[in-house]
Structures are given as C-alpha cells and as structure tokens.
Structure 1
C-alpha cells in the first residue's frame, strides 16, 4: 500500500467517523432539549445539511472522474 492510498483511505474513514459522531451529537442535542419529533427533524435538516452537501460533493467527484 502506497502512502497516497493510505492517506486516501484514512481520510474517508476519518470523515465517516466524524460524520457519524456529528449525527449522534445532533440526536443527543434533540433528546436533551426535549425537541420532539418535529424539532429533531428540523435539527437534522438544519445541522445535517452541511454534512450531506459534503457527501454529495464526494460522490459527484467520484462519478465525474
């Protein structure tokens, strides 16, 4: 395995772990604030939209190459 391959894999794994942790933080924030179903939905839409945009960018880059 070359250095470039290792860096690419570790980047993707690290970002996946970070995004999963951020979704857990959003869930926990909604749970602790007693936001309800609609409040949790709004939290996930508002705070999770940036992460979804990043994932869409990765998929677009992959398919355009």
Structure 2
C-alpha cells in the first residue's frame, strides 16, 4: 500500500471516528444540561454543519481529481 493511499484512508477513518466522538460529546452535553428536544436539535444542527462541510470538501476534491 502506498503512503498516499494509506494517509487518505486514515484521514477518512480517523476524522469519521472524531465526528462520532464529537456526536457523543454533544449528546452528553445536551443530556447533562437538560437542553430538551429543541436545544439538542440546535446542538446537533451546529455539529452537522461542520460534518456537512467536511463531506462537501471531500466530494469537491474527488470531483476535481477526475
């Protein structure tokens, strides 16, 4: 396996793991702060925007490479 392929795979896997860990942190924060449904939705929406940005960046780079 070449270094570039390994790096791309690890970035995807590790950033995915980080996103899941951040989702757990947000869920725990919402639960401990008793944010309710609306507050929890707002917290996850803000996290979702960051995840969406990462996905869009990945897609744009993949399309540009074609």
Q: TM-score range by the shorter chain?
A: 0.7 to 0.9
TM-score normalised by length of structure 1: 0.84
Once the two structures are superposed, residues 3-27 of structure 1 have per-residue CA deviations (whole angstroms, 9 ceiling, x without a partner) of 1111111111111101111111111
TM-score calculated relative to the size of structure 2: 0.83
Q: Please list every run of at least 4 consecutive aligned residues from structure 1 whose deviation after the TM superposition is greater than 4 angstroms.
A: none
2:23 is the counterpart of 1:17: no
User: Cα RMSD over matched residues?
Assistant: 1.4
Which ranges in structure 1 are unaligned for 5 or more consecutive residues? none
Question: Does 2:36 correspond to 1:36?
Answer: yes
Q: Which runs of 5+ in 2 are unaligned?
A: none
